Amino acid sequence: MGPERIRLSGITKAFGALKANDHVDLTLHAGEIHALLGENGAGKSTLMKILYGLLRPDSGEIRINGQRVSLPSPQAARAQGIGMVFQHFSLFEDFTALENIAIPLEGRIADAALRAQVEAKARHFGLAIDLDRPVHTLSAGERQRIEILRALMQEPQVLILDEPTSVLTPDEAEALFATLDTLAEEGAGILFISHKLEEVRRLCSRATILRGGKVVAETDPRAVSAAELAALMVGEGVLDLRPAAAHALGEPLLHLDGLSVAPEGVHGVALQDIHLTVQAGEVVAIAGVAGNGQSELYAAISGEGGRVTAGRVTMAGQDVTRRDINARRALGAAFVPEARLGQATLPQGPLSENVILSWHATESLGRWLLDKVRIGEVARTVISRFDVRTPSADPQAAQLSGGNLQKYVVGREIERQPRLMVVDQPSWGVDARAATHIRQTLLDLAAKGAAVLVISQDLDEVMVMADRIAVMHGGNLSAARPVSALSRAEIGLLMTQGESPARGAA
């Protein structure tokens, strides 16, 4: 191991009564790729924000290269050689890659001199980018490479990456790992935040695990199993999914027949000739990198949008192509959209009021006036039955953590006892414990005879949940195959290249 780059000792930060970081110690050496693991709310983001100068600790000290420093702002952190790549990109869509790289560099413009430097850097680290294309034409992986190049232009000694692979295909992730390996070999220290334990074990030589704001372990992730790491993150062995007992499949409840849909918005994707059937009792998953037409597919199935240009959507034997979401609910369908806040719920509305959104058309909530007592009962039932942790009895949706709100939204739909459940990104940005809970709930629903369709960009999730998997690529959907007939590599290939005609015919 190289010399010590960063030593955090006794870092404590409280928000009101909540201690987000409680005497956290962490040491990062030159040449080390160090994982920071923990559930959502474990304090990872707070710690990284402190290190990047976005938050100030209540107590504790930060040493960089042995010197005690204070980091009042990101500028100060950058001056100390710390770079950060955020989970959500901050790029200007209409500017080219090169212009985006030039923007944060003080006193630099996108000229030939900068281009030469950027090209040299990109070549050195194996980051393939067309510098002249506007950002809105680039894939998530390409955008991330811009963010990384941007950080590298400042010659950082320490690079922080916050869940960098969440939007990448397996191949893109491999390319990123190669870049990070090179960077570490040349003496930079890298802090790698991720939920994905397999890739942490592949990439990192140390891991610090946070739970409830405290460091619960520091370990070599290659020396322990992914299951052991997960157990450290959540405490107990709560992560195991109980697979459903063998059960017979029933009638087809959702059938897409040659469905074509116009793209949504300027960056949307047109769907072409989609075929899919989901039967009662099975879980079908649609894998794929985000932005390959999943939004259009979800909207067309739920009836929230999606201009169908050809083909049919059939639910429980009835053609619903031209019918609205409530007509589909009346046939026993339930929907969980991608955005928890602002789509599945009214952010400022209490949880009880949010019952009305998906219940009003099909369940009895009062004849003339809304029955507030009944609505409150439904909300309380969902909260207790689906283990939703709330700060008060009936809080606003926006006051819940992502995981708890997602449990509420999924629970609200399951409480309607649907025959067909369509879920877009069931556990996106949700911590491991809540994700397991949600997946188990959906598996149980299918075991009881409902048809479940899951759209997810999380390959691990797709693999553990689905009976059959179809892959979305460029607006096309591959044939759904039994999960046992597919390897991760095959799915990766389908995600990046789609289905080759020869194969589709086979």
* β pairing state of 333-336 and 420-424: parallel
CA distance 461 to 316: 27
Query: Three-state DSSP class for 263?
Result: coil
Nearer to another protein, 312 or 323 (CB): 323
The number of CA neighbours under 13 Å toward the Cβ of 118 is 27
Kindly tell me the sign of the dihedral angle through the C-alpha atoms of 106, 111, 113, 119. Answer: positive
Q: Residue written as tokens 């996108």?
A: 110
Binding region for another protein (CB under 8 A) out of 168-176, 212-220, 336-344, 485-493: 336-344
Q: In whole angstroms, how close is the CB of 320 to another protein at the nearest point?
A: 13
In the complex, the smallest distance separating the C-beta of residue 105 from another protein, rounded to whole angstroms, is 17
Q: Which one, 392 or 487, has the nearer CB to another protein?
A: 392
Q: 320: alpha, beta or left, given left = phi > 0 and alpha = psi -120 to 50? A: alpha
Largest interatomic CA distance in the chain: 73
Binding mask 36-75 toward another protein (x if CB under 8 A, else -) reads ------------------------------------xx-x
Residue 318 as a binder of another protein (CB under 8 A): the answer is no
- The verdict on 228 binding another protein (CB under 8 A) reads no
Structural contact between residues 241 and 439, judged by C-beta atoms closer than 8 angstroms: yes
Piece in contact with another protein (CB under 8 A), picked from 199-207, 242-250, 320-328, 443-451: 320-328
Query: Contact region for another protein (CB under 8 A) — 118-126, 303-311, 420-428, 471-479?
Result: 303-311
Contact 171, 496 (CB under 8 A): yes
Q: How far is the CB of 73 from another protein (least distance, A)?
A: 7
Give 15's contacts (C-beta < 8 A, 6+ positions apart): none
- Is 157 within 8 Å of 188 (Cβ atoms)? yes
Long-range contacts of 464-468 (CB under 8 A, 24+ apart): 464/241, 464/439, 465/241, 465/283, 465/285, 465/439, 466/283, 466/284, 466/285, 467/282, 467/283, 467/284, 468/282, 468/283, 468/284, 468/285
Q: Is 505 an interacting residue with respect to another protein (CB under 8 A)? A: no
Q: Which residue among 69, 239, 346, 464 contacts another protein (CB under 8 A)? A: 346
Q: What does the angle CA 396 – CA 397 – CA 403 come to, to the nearest 5 degrees?
A: 135
The distance of closest approach from Cβ of residue 262 to another protein in the complex, given in angstroms and rounded to an integer, is 17
Nearest to 47 by CA among 90, 76, 84: 84
Of 325, 378, 383, 471, the one binding another protein (CB under 8 A) is 325
Q: Is 324 in the site for another protein (CB under 8 A)?
A: yes
Q: Which of 277, 272, 268 is nearest to 259 (CA)?
A: 272
Residue 343 interacting with another protein (CB under 8 A): yes
Q: Please, which residue, 19 or 360, has the CB nearer to another protein?
A: 360
If the CB atoms of residues 236 and 368 are measured against another protein, the closer one turns out to be: 368
Among 2, 342, 482, 504, binds another protein (CB under 8 A): 342
Interface with another protein: number of residues (CB under 8 A):
34
262 part of the interface to another protein, by CB under 8 A: no
Contacting range for another protein; rule: CB under 8 A; set: 135-143, 148-156, 231-239, 347-355: 347-355
**Stretch 371-430 residues interacting with another protein (CB under 8 A):** 372
Please give the structure tokens belonging to residue 33: 């790729």
Is residue 349 near another protein by the rule CB under 8 A? yes
Q: Are strands 468-473 and 476-477 parallel, antiparallel or unpaired?
A: antiparallel
Nearer to another protein, 329 or 407 (CB): 329
Q: Bridge partners of 189?
A: 158
- Candidates 84-92, 179-187, 216-224, 345-353: pick the segment binding another protein (CB under 8 A): 345-353
Query: Distance between CA atoms of 178 and 192, rounded to whole angstroms?
Result: 14
Q: Smallest gap, in angstroms, from Cβ of residue 128 to another protein?
A: 36
Beta bridge partners of 69: 62
Which CB atom, from 239 or from 365, has the smaller least distance to another protein? 365
Residue with smaller CB distance to another protein, 400 or 462: 400
Token representation of residue 253? 């409840």
Q: Which of residues 460-479 bind another protein (CB under 8 A)?
A: none
Query: What character string, x for contact with another protein (CB under 8 A) and - otherwise, covers 76-95?
Result: x-------------------
Kindly identify the residues of this chain, within the stretch 352-371, that bind another protein according to CB under 8 A. Answer: 353, 356-358, 360-361, 365, 368-370
- Contact status, residue 74 vs residue 463, Cβ threshold 8 Å: no
Q: Tokens 């099909």, residue?
A: 362
Q: Can residue 305 be called a binding residue for another protein (CB under 8 A)?
A: yes
Least separation, in Å, of the C-beta of 422 and another protein? 12
Closest CA to 218 of 68, 46, 28: 28
Query: Which residue among 2, 10, 237, 347 contacts another protein (CB under 8 A)?
Result: 347
By the rule CB under 8 A, 348 interacts with another protein:
yes
Of the pair 232, 313, the CB lying nearest another protein is at: 313
> Which residues in this chain contact another protein in the complex, by CB under 8 A?
72-73, 75-76, 302-305, 324-326, 329, 335, 337, 339, 342-349, 353, 356-358, 360-361, 365, 368-370, 372
